[in-house]
Copies of this chain bind each other. A is one copy, B any other.
Amino acid sequence: MKYPPPMQNISFLASLVLWSAAATVSSPRGFLPDTAARQSQWEKQYLALPDASVIRENDRVLSAEPHHLGSPADEKDAQWILSRFREWGLDATIETFYVLFPTPKERIVEMTSPTRYRAVLEEPPVAGDPTTTQTDRQLPTYNAYSIDGDVTAPLVYVNYGVPADYERLERFGIDVRGKIVIARYGQSWRGIKPKVAAEHGAVGCILYSDPRDDGYFAGDVYPRGGFRPEQGVQRGSVADMPTYPGDPLTPGVGATQKREHWKLSDAKTLTRIPVLPISYGDARPLLAALEGPVAPAEWRGALPLTYHVGPGPAQVHLKLAFDWKIVPAHDVIARIPGSTWPDEWVIHGNHYDAWVNGAQDPISGQAALLEEARAFGTLLKKGWRPRRTIVLCAWDGEEEGLMGSTEWVETHADELRQKAVAYLNTDSSDRGFLAAAGSHSLEALVNEVASEVEDPEKKISILRRARLKKIDAAKTPEDRKEIRDRELFRIGALGSGSDYTPFLQHLGIASLNFSFEPDDGGGVYHSIYDDFAWYTHFADTDFTFGRALAQVSGATVMRLSDADVLPFEFTALADTVAKYIQELQKLAKEKREAAEELSRQIDDGLPQAVADARQPFVPPQPDPAVPYFDFSSLENASAALTAAAREYELSLAKFREKGTASENPARVVEINRLLRTSERALTRAEGLPRRPWFVHYLYAPGFYTGYDAKTMPTVRESIEEKQYAEVNREAVRTAEAISKLASQVREAAKLLNGESPERR
């Protein structure tokens, strides 16, 4: 083992962290010696329980039929999960919500000139794959929450359809007003594409999966390989999730009532223009019919044609009509009551609804979660009693926009704010490398647990494999050095795209997301081909990574539920905050230099001089100068958090030396209250500008990325979107949240030291 590095290279602070992170087996973080020994025994038993063949059977049963929100098979799956939970001795119920869910009545994409082509819009069954033939129960290929529409207009190819792509089109003198755009999937969450298209005046939007991204360019297509076949289509929601997820009609409140009276205009997150996804088989004739400038090299996909931008001469007719209805969403919730602190909740969830059969998305994660539940049931029978309450959740309607989780969180918001310790999510897993992201106060915990789970292929820990992969992927020697020298393996930040969002970003509950990911991604995402046959041929074929997922998630839940002092750790968070500030400073500097460079180039006549004289060209305008920003508030808050985190680690070390938590149970309860609500300090009740539903000031989905996190989002997006007047203000507001957290951590440290708390 080369990790962690030898002691003599480690600072005093790092050595403190090391105490808890490296010496895991004997003393996991947050456990005093007496409880640590007991915990180690239970965890050892737990890790031996998950069984790949049971996970396989869970996956087979739950993905046996198309089971989208509101479908009979979806309700059947909910009942099956409920029965399993109960069979294993857990206290389980179904909570039902009522949410808006449109399904297609009519879908037309046709090219009317220069030649006629009517898009197929069907995914053909595959011989030898039985569930692909369940045509009568499959949802058609479409994007949910597109508005109805009937438009005919010239087509423009807009690459991935993100804002930078429209800037490039401006250089060609092309605007998309009154046009239908065709964008390829990728680089942003799909709902961003029609949003940006509408902002630029487009009247319709077609999405397609280019074979460059997940078709034959990436690998052999199904059924020869795992990638998207010619007529495969990515379904998916296009509601404006970065504004708010969940039922479009009930932002911020639980949709517990089956309303009879409602207006579509109450739904603020529908698209402004009609949008439909198509296959690359259907996209090919449309793209082949475009003329105008040849697309920039980085815009070109893998279809065997020359990508042109248009507009036209391809003229396209796009007609969409939906059945707008309210459907029930059934969340299955199981509880294991805490023996010591029943009002402290450790929550682990994942959705079970799918666009079609969803053997990978989401059943691979749900099947492992159920195996964790079965193992917990077994441990309970052997006498294990978690000290905190464990809540296991199977969410419905995630695919439509985190419906089940969001409505449940909104319904139980007050209780969750009080009781929730952490939320763990395990959506859509495969084989390969551990992908762990979430709250950095849990980074040390993730490192501890992941160092104890073995990779089924390589027989090293899943942590070590992930770390070696990151070293391998590092672009510079400096990046490699950082990964090697840092005692903890960095986890990513969470944006959105799965059910952690309401917990983390609406309530400020520390959250994690775990999965295993291959190098080459999957190619059948949200199609009828994401099924059991596909998964058992091309993903985690023997479910050994499903077992590893159940091991790492269950052990994480057990640590959180049984620790004397909750295993939060703040030096890694403080280090991450400092890194984000450096990133913002770097971003500002790069923006400033880019604006200066552009001005200089414009002064020198460079854009005209290098432009291809045979293509249309509109020279760029200068960007506004980028002022110097005041990041001092953030830097001071970061310094305070770093100091508080060190103080907390020192106090925790002393507290542990004393060896017992029982001398003053009320003090421990208060320390744990401060710890479990620490993430809440990073929120502001008024929420983010433009989107008050999101309250977290450290992590948010990007307004123009959707999936990807923007860290310190209000500051970062102000810079990225050139709203420079807002930057200093948002830096102060973000700094206030960080300072609040620093105070809370310092208070916890004082309590650990036996001092009286400064304030309550």
Contacts from A to B (Cβ < 8 Å)? 2, 211, 216-221, 225, 227, 294, 300, 302-306, 431, 457-458, 460, 464-465, 468-469, 471-472, 477, 480, 518-520, 593, 597, 601, 603-606, 608-610, 612-613
Inter-chain contact A216/B457, CB cutoff 8 Å:
no
Separation of A605 and B613 alpha carbons in the complex (Å): 53
> What is the chain B residue whose CB lies nearest that of A470?
B610
Inter-chain contact A216/B460, CB cutoff 8 Å:
no
Inter-chain contact B610/A472, CB cutoff 8 Å:
yes
Given the interface pairs A300-B217, A609-B458, A610-B469, the reply to whether A604 lies near B2 with Cβ below 8 Å is yes
Inter-chain contact B306/A304, CB cutoff 8 Å:
no
Separation of A300 and B471 alpha carbons in the complex (Å): 25
Residues of B within 8 A of A610 (CB): 465, 468-469, 472
Inter-chain contact A219/B294, CB cutoff 8 Å:
yes
> What is the chain B residue whose CB lies nearest that of A284?
B304
- Complex partner residue of A609 from B300, B468, B613, CB under 8 angstroms: B468
Given the interface pairs A219-B306, A225-B306, A304-B211, the reply to whether A471 lies near B294 with Cβ below 8 Å is no
Separation of A2 and B468 alpha carbons in the complex (Å): 49
Inter-chain contact B606/A471, CB cutoff 8 Å:
yes
Minimum CB–CB distance for A591 against chain B, Å: 13
> What is the chain B residue whose CB lies nearest that of A457?
B613
Inter-chain contact B519/A612, CB cutoff 8 Å:
yes
Given the interface pairs A593-B477, A613-B457, the reply to whether A605 lies near B304 with Cβ below 8 Å is no
Report copies per complex.
Answer: 2
> What is the chain B residue whose CB lies nearest that of A608?
B458
Separation of A472 and B607 alpha carbons in the complex (Å): 8
* Besides A219-B294, A221-B306, 10 new A-B residue pairs in contact (Cβ under 8 A), listed by A number: A2-B603, A216-B305, A217-B306, A219-B306, A302-B302, A465-B610, A469-B609, A471-B606, A480-B597, A519-B612
> What is the chain B residue whose CB lies nearest that of A1?
B604
Given the interface pairs A606-B472, A610-B468, the reply to whether A477 lies near B519 with Cβ below 8 Å is no
- Complex partner residue of A468 from B477, B593, B604, CB under 8 angstroms: B604
Inter-chain contact A609/B460, CB cutoff 8 Å:
yes
Separation of A28 and B740 alpha carbons in the complex (Å): 71
Residues of B within 8 A of A216 (CB): 304-306
Inter-chain contact B605/A468, CB cutoff 8 Å:
yes
Separation of A519 and B431 alpha carbons in the complex (Å): 43
Separation of A303 and B211 alpha carbons in the complex (Å): 11
Separation of A457 and B520 alpha carbons in the complex (Å): 45
Most buried by B among A302, A472, A518: A302
Separation of A302 and B460 alpha carbons in the complex (Å): 38
Residues of B within 8 A of A217 (CB): 300, 306
Separation of A220 and B295 alpha carbons in the complex (Å): 11
Separation of A628 and B40 alpha carbons in the complex (Å): 52
Residues of B within 8 A of A597 (CB): 477, 480
Inter-chain contact A294/B609, CB cutoff 8 Å:
no
Separation of A477 and B610 alpha carbons in the complex (Å): 18
In order of increasing CB-CB distance, the 8 nearest A-B pairs are A468-B609, A457-B613, A304-B304, A472-B610, A468-B606, A220-B306, A216-B306, A469-B610
Separation of A348 and B464 alpha carbons in the complex (Å): 63
Residues of B within 8 A of A221 (CB): 306
- Could you list some 16 contacts between A and B, CB below 8 A? A2-B604, A211-B304, A216-B305, A220-B306, A221-B306, A458-B608, A458-B613, A460-B605, A465-B610, A468-B604, A468-B605, A469-B609, A472-B610, A518-B612, A519-B612, A520-B612
Residues of B within 8 A of A603 (CB): 2
- Complex partner residue of A471 from B303, B472, B480, B601, CB under 8 angstroms: B601
Most buried by B among A227, A603, A613: A613
> What is the chain B residue whose CB lies nearest that of A216?
B306
> What is the chain B residue whose CB lies nearest that of A480?
B597
Separation of A610 and B471 alpha carbons in the complex (Å): 10
Separation of A610 and B520 alpha carbons in the complex (Å): 12
Inter-chain contact B519/A464, CB cutoff 8 Å:
no
Residues of B within 8 A of A302 (CB): 302, 304
Residues of B within 8 A of A469 (CB): 609-610
Residues of B within 8 A of A227 (CB): 306
Separation of A457 and B2 alpha carbons in the complex (Å): 61
Residues of B within 8 A of A294 (CB): 219-220
Residues of B within 8 A of A2 (CB): 603-604
Most buried by B among A465, A469, A604: A604
Residues of B within 8 A of A468 (CB): 604-606, 609-610
Inter-chain contact A303/B306, CB cutoff 8 Å:
no
Separation of A283 and B303 alpha carbons in the complex (Å): 17
Residues of B within 8 A of A480 (CB): 597
Minimum CB–CB distance for A213 against chain B, Å: 12
> What is the chain B residue whose CB lies nearest that of A455?
B609
Minimum CB–CB distance for A533 against chain B, Å: 17
> What is the chain B residue whose CB lies nearest that of A612?
B519
> What is the chain B residue whose CB lies nearest that of A303?
B304
> What is the chain B residue whose CB lies nearest that of A606?
B468
- Complex partner residue of A464 from B218, B471, B609, B613, CB under 8 angstroms: B609
Minimum CB–CB distance for A431 against chain B, Å: 8
Inter-chain contact B465/A609, CB cutoff 8 Å:
yes
Separation of A613 and B518 alpha carbons in the complex (Å): 10
Separation of A645 and B71 alpha carbons in the complex (Å): 84
Residues of B within 8 A of A303 (CB): 304
> What is the chain B residue whose CB lies nearest that of A224?
B306
Residues of B within 8 A of A519 (CB): 612
Separation of A520 and B306 alpha carbons in the complex (Å): 13
Residues of B within 8 A of A211 (CB): 304
Minimum CB–CB distance for A645 against chain B, Å: 30
Separation of A572 and B71 alpha carbons in the complex (Å): 76
Residues of B within 8 A of A457 (CB): 613
Minimum CB–CB distance for A164 against chain B, Å: 18
Separation of A303 and B519 alpha carbons in the complex (Å): 22
Residues of B within 8 A of A219 (CB): 294, 306
Residues of B within 8 A of A220 (CB): 294, 306
Minimum CB–CB distance for A438 against chain B, Å: 23
Minimum CB–CB distance for A592 against chain B, Å: 12
Residues of B within 8 A of A520 (CB): 612
> What is the chain B residue whose CB lies nearest that of A473?
B610
Minimum CB–CB distance for A232 against chain B, Å: 15
Minimum CB–CB distance for A173 against chain B, Å: 18
> What is the chain B residue whose CB lies nearest that of A217?
B300
Most buried by B among A303, A609, A613: A609
Minimum CB–CB distance for A652 against chain B, Å: 31
Residues of B within 8 A of A518 (CB): 612
Residues of B within 8 A of A464 (CB): 609
